[in-house]
């Protein structure tokens, strides 16, 4: 039987980062067990016919000094910085993101609705205070007013979350939904406001190789044999401290780090108290069906991605990989991801959906009738978005309390059952490694991880 101090389930960014930082801390042996042939999980890429496709847009937003230094060091020479060019397409018009600050160009009735509703949220004196834990629906009405809610916030978020917004909390939105000032809302209705709002106003992305180069670079820093790929974990006995992985057999461990979707981990590990099983039944998630396309001309110039709130389009977002990096597509072509969300239990009829997607892309003129599709394939992301409904927080707290008592760490976007991004996932792994190693001070950078300076692209 293989034995390790720390067994890490999953070789996505969370698992790789944990192993990397455990090595930095020293002292504990660790082994990463990954189901797929390649590392990276949702931060991976697939190559087909000269195109590089990610699991929909994966842009690097680096806010933390340590996270930034680490990523810049890992991808030195292979990162470009971009100013975000993100748009909303509704009423046959492109407006800038975020909708709430950029209604200029929409039909005047829509602009009037949006402004009237927004200013009512400021000047109305008879509002009852919002509850301390409001629904997303109530919060949106109070933050942005009825017009902005009706024309964007409600239809877009209903398409993404596939959950009544009155049953969703606002816990996920803090960093992700910008709130402009009244003057900005007004100015953005009168003129094309070329101002950046929100947490991701700029981003970095690899010049070559798609986002896969990031997990690959982390994996390359691990010790030989520290990652076992093509080895799905089949079961975990938490009492005996033994896991079984296909092709490896039994793996004995002292400490366990889970980065698989929490629901999957709770289904393959045992034993758990009844309270954990009951809490697990309350966890909900969405599947994203990503249709990847390679097109024989440079379509959608100068736009990185576009949000589609209207029901007549089956997709909620379309993005252009070849506008993140020219090397993502052969010269003279372009490549796209088209995102459609479904509840985990909903069946998706992909051939039918594909027809509806292609006809939607033609109707908004991203595709033209003579375009040739050089590449076309679906990339489902089974557990893509954790749904923040009113049951989630309590359920997650009960599960994490029990896991803590069993000496199990569960981290990352899906192990931690949260809405987060790649840098945060890498930092989750760092903090986890430090807890396991009994260290509180930050891990140092490896020699050679010096920060690379990047210039924005013109």
Residues near ligand FAD (CB under 6 A) are 9-15, 33-36, 41-43, 56-59, 61, 232-233, 259-260, 264, 288, 381, 384, 412-414, 420-422, 425
Residue closer to ligand FAD, measured from CB, 4 or 425:
425
284 touches 389 (CB < 8 A): yes
Taking only Cα atoms into account, the Rg of the chain, rounded to an integer number of angstroms, comes to 23
* Least Å from the CB of residue 180 to ligand FAD: 22
Residue closer to ligand FAD, measured from CB, 96 or 418:
418
Residue closer to ligand FAD, measured from CB, 150 or 413:
413
Q: How open is the CA angle 315-320-323, to the nearest 5 degrees? A: 165
How far is 167 from 53, CA to CA, in rounded Å? 34
- 354-363 contacts, C-beta under 8 A, 24 or more apart: 354/291, 354/378, 356/314, 357/291, 357/314, 357/315, 360/308, 360/312, 360/313, 360/314, 360/315, 361/318, 363/312, 363/313
* Least Å from the CB of residue 265 to ligand FAD: 8
Residue closer to ligand FAD, measured from CB, 185 or 338:
338
184-205 exposure pattern, b = at least 16 Cβ within 10 A, e = fewer: bbbbbbeeebeeebbebeebbb
Token pair 């758990």 is found at: 272
Token pair 């192990």 is found at: 415
* Least Å from the CB of residue 325 to ligand FAD: 14
* Least Å from the CB of residue 134 to ligand FAD: 26
* Least Å from the CB of residue 204 to ligand FAD: 10
* Least Å from the CB of residue 389 to ligand FAD: 18
Query: Burial level of 122, CB count in 10 A (0-12/13-18/19+)?
Result: exposed
442 touches 66 (CB < 8 A): yes
Of 198, 202, 204, 189, nearest in space to 97 by CA: 198
Residue closer to ligand FAD, measured from CB, 40 or 294:
40
* Least Å from the CB of residue 283 to ligand FAD: 15
Residue closer to ligand FAD, measured from CB, 10 or 206:
10
Q: What is the dihedral of CA 160, 162, 166, 169, to 10 degrees?
A: -60
Residue closer to ligand FAD, measured from CB, 158 or 184:
158
Residue 263, number of CB atoms within 10 A of its CB: 17
Give bridge partners of residue 82 from the DSSP assignment. Answer: 203
178 touches 98 (CB < 8 A): yes
In 247-389 the beta strands, taken as DSSP E runs, fall at: 249-258, 269-270, 285-295, 305-307, 317-320, 334-343, 373-386
* Least Å from the CB of residue 124 to ligand FAD: 37
Question: What single string gives the DSSP state of each residue in 266-303?
Answer: HHHEE---HHHHHHHTT--EEEEEEEEEEESS--STT-
Residue closer to ligand FAD, measured from CB, 7 or 110:
7
CA atoms within 13 A on the CB side of 129: 3
* Least Å from the CB of residue 112 to ligand FAD: 34
* Least Å from the CB of residue 415 to ligand FAD: 6
Residue closer to ligand FAD, measured from CB, 11 or 73:
11
Residue closer to ligand FAD, measured from CB, 139 or 321:
321
Cβ neighbours of residue 73 closer than 8 Å, sequence gap 6 or more: 445, 446, 448, 449, 450, 451, 452
Residue closer to ligand FAD, measured from CB, 55 or 139:
55
Tokens of 23: 């090595």
DSSP-derived secondary structure letter, 239: T
* Least Å from the CB of residue 39 to ligand FAD: 7
């Amino acid at each position: 039987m293989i034995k390790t101090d720390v067994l890490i389930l999953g070789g996505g960014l969370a698992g790789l980062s944990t192993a990397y930082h455990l090595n930095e801390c020293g002292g504990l042996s660790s082994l990463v067990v990954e189901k797929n042939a390649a590392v990276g999980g949702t931060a991976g890429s697939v190559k087909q016919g000269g195109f590089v496709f990610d699991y929909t847009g994966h842009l690097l937003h680096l806010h933390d000094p340590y996270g930034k230094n680490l990523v810049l060091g890992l991808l030195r020479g292979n990162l470009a910085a971009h100013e975000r060019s993100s748009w909303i397409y509704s009423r046959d018009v492109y407006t800038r993101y975020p909708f709430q600050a950029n209604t200029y160009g929409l039909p005047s009735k829509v602009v009037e609705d949006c402004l009237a509703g927004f200013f009512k949220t400021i000047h109305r004196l008879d509002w009852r205070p919002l509850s301390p834990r409001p629904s997303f629906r109530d919060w949106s009405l109070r933050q942005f007013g009825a017009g902005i809610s009706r024309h964007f916030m409600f239809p877009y978020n209903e398409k993404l979350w596939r959950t009544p917004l009155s049953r969703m909390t606002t816990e996920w939105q803090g960093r992700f939904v910008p709130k402009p000032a009244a003057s900005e809302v007004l100015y953005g209705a009168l003129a094309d406001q070329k101002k950046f709002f929100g947490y991701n106003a700029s981003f970095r992305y690899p010049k070559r190789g798609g986002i896969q180069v990031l997990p690959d670079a982390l994996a390359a820093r691990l010790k030989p044999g520290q990652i076992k790929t093509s080895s799905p974990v089949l079961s975990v006995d938490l009492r005996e401290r033994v896991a079984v992985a296909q092709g490896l057999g039994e793996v004995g461990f002292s400490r366990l780090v889970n980065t698989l979707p929490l629901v999957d981990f709770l289904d393959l590990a045992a034993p758990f108290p009844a309270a954990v099983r009951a809490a697990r039944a309350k966890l909900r998630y969405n599947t994203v069906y990503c249709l990847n396309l390679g097109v024989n001309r440079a379509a959608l110039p100068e736009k990185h991605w576009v949000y589609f709130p209207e029901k007549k389009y089956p997709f909620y977002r379309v993005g252009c990989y070849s506008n993140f990096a020219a090397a993502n597509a052969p010269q003279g072509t372009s490549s796209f991801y088209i995102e459609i969300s479904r509840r985990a239990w909903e069946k998706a009829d992909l051939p039918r959906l594909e027809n509806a997607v292609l006809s939607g892309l033609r109707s908004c003129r991203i595709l033209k009738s003579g375009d040739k599709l050089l590449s076309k394939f679906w990339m489902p992301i089974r557990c893509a978005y954790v749904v923040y409904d009113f049951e989630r927080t309590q359920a997650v707290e009960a599960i994490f309390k029990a896991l803590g008592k069993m000496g199990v760490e569960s981290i990352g976007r899906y192990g931690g059952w949260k809405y987060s991004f790649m840098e945060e996932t890498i930092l989750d792994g760092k903090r986890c490694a430090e807890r396991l190693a009994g260290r509180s001070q930050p891990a140092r950078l490896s020699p050679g991880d010096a920060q690379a300076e990047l210039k924005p692209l013109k």
